Amino acid sequence: MTQSASTTVAFLGAGTMGAPMARNLASAGFAVRAWNRTREKADAVDGVEVADSPEEAASGAGAVITMLADASAVEEAMTGGEGALPALEGAPWIQMSTIGLAGTERMKATAAEHEVAFVDAPVLGTKEPAEQAQLLVLASGPEDDDLRGRCQPLFDAVGQKTLWVGEAGAGSRLKLVLNSWLLTLVEGVAEAVALASSIGVDPERFLEAIEGGPLGVPYADLKGRAMIADEFPPSFALALARKDAELVLEAAADLELPFARAVTLQLRRAEACGLGEQDMAAVARMVGSDRGATRAET
C-alpha cells in the first residue's frame, strides 16, 4: 500500500483512541474516511472526511480499520445495517479493537465467509501514546508479504513499533496477557499508595524509591501521581478497563487467576459507584472497603 493521499482508509470508531489514530493517519498522507456512531465525535477529527455509515466509509477504500469499544460494536459496524463488510472490494479488514479471543475468532470467521483478508492488530497504549503515534501494534494475520506490506504503512502512522506475532488471533492473545499484567500493576500501585498514606509514609516517597530501579516502571509513576492527586481525567476509561479485565477472565476459564479476579471485582465496584468514565486509575478510590466506597461517591 503506497502511502499517499490517493490511498483511502475507512476508519470506524472515533473515540478516545480512534480519534487520534485517524488524525495521525490523515497527517501521514492517507485519505481517511471516518465513521462513528455518534457523528459529532468524527466531525471533531481534523483532516478526515466524515461518512454517514460504515458502508459509505468502506466503499472503494484500500483498507478498513475498526477501533471500537467491544466485539458487538465491531460486529454491528461491519455486518449490521449499512455495514462495511459487503462494501469491501479486495481491501483488508484490520481489526485493532480489544475484543478478546471469542470475539476475534468470530470476526475472523465472518471475514473468511466474505473472502476478506483479516488482520488482527490490537494496540497497547492509552490516549497520550495514541495522540503521539507511539502505540505498540500487536499484528497478526496471514503469512502474506504483500498483505503485511500493505498494512505496515498504516501501522507506522499510528505506532512507534509493530510486532508481527503469527496468524490472526495471536495479536489478541498477546494483548490479553499484557492487559492482565497492566491491570494488576494499576491495582498494586493503588494499594501501595493507600498503604503508604495509612501508615504515615508520604506516597511520593514510594514513587521516588522505585523510580529508575528494577521495581519501577513509568506507568506506575504516571498512575501513582494521579492517585495521589485524586484526579482522574480519562486517558483510558475505567469502564473499558473493566471490559478488558473480563476478557482476561473469559480467556482464562480453565485457570485460577486470583489477582485478575480481584482486579475485575474492584473495577466493577468502581464502575457501579459512577467512576466508569474516569481514568482507570480511579480504581484507587475503591481501596479501603467502606472508606473506598465513600470516597468514590464524593
Q: What's the confidence (pLDDT) of residue 297?
A: 47
Instruction: Tell me whether residue 2 is in a domain.
Output: no
Copy the grid coordinates of residue 202: 508520604
Q: What's the confidence (pLDDT) of residue 7?
A: 86
Instruction: Tell me whether residue 3 is in a domain.
Output: no
Cα–Cα distance measured from residue 61 to residue 47, given in angstroms and rounded to the nearest whole number: 16
How many separate domains does the chain show? 2
Nearest CA-CA partner of 220 in 286, 134, 228, 277: 228
Exposure string of 82-116, with b = 16+ CB inside 10 Å and e = fewer, is bbbbebbeebbbbbbbbbbbebbbebbebbeeeeb
Q: Are 19 and 127 in contact (CB under 8 A)?
A: no
Q: Which of 167, 198, 231 is the last residue of a domain?
A: 167
Q: Output the domain CATH number for residue 246.
A: 1.10.1040.10
Q: What's the confidence (pLDDT) of residue 2?
A: 44
Instruction: Tell me whether residue 148 is in a domain.
Output: yes
Residues in the chain where the model's pLDDT stays below 50: 1-6, 289-294, 297-298
Cα–Cα distance measured from residue 84 to residue 66, given in angstroms and rounded to the nearest whole number: 10
pTM over the 0.85 mark: yes
- Domain that residue 121 falls in: 8-167
pLDDT tens track for 136-193: 999 999 999 999 999 999 999 999 999 999 999 999 999 999 999 999 999 999 999 9
* Residue for grid cell 493521499: 5
Cα–Cα distance measured from residue 202 to residue 71, given in angstroms and rounded to the nearest whole number: 42
Q: Output the domain CATH number for residue 32.
A: 3.40.50.720
Residues 150, 271: one domain? no
Copy the grid coordinates of residue 178: 499484557
Residues 127, 186: one domain? no
Q: What's the confidence (pLDDT) of residue 289?
A: 47
Residue type at 92 in one-letter notation: P
Residue type at 247 in one-letter notation: L
Residues 93, 212: one domain? no
Q: Which of 135, 167, 199 is the last residue of a domain?
A: 167
Q: What's the confidence (pLDDT) of residue 288?
A: 66
Cα distances (angstroms) measured from residue 228 to each of 2, 182, 265, 276: 47, 19, 22, 19
Residues 118, 56: one domain? yes
Q: What's the confidence (pLDDT) of residue 293?
A: 47
Residues 210, 241: one domain? yes
Cα–Cα distance measured from residue 263 to residue 268, given in angstroms and rounded to the nearest whole number: 9
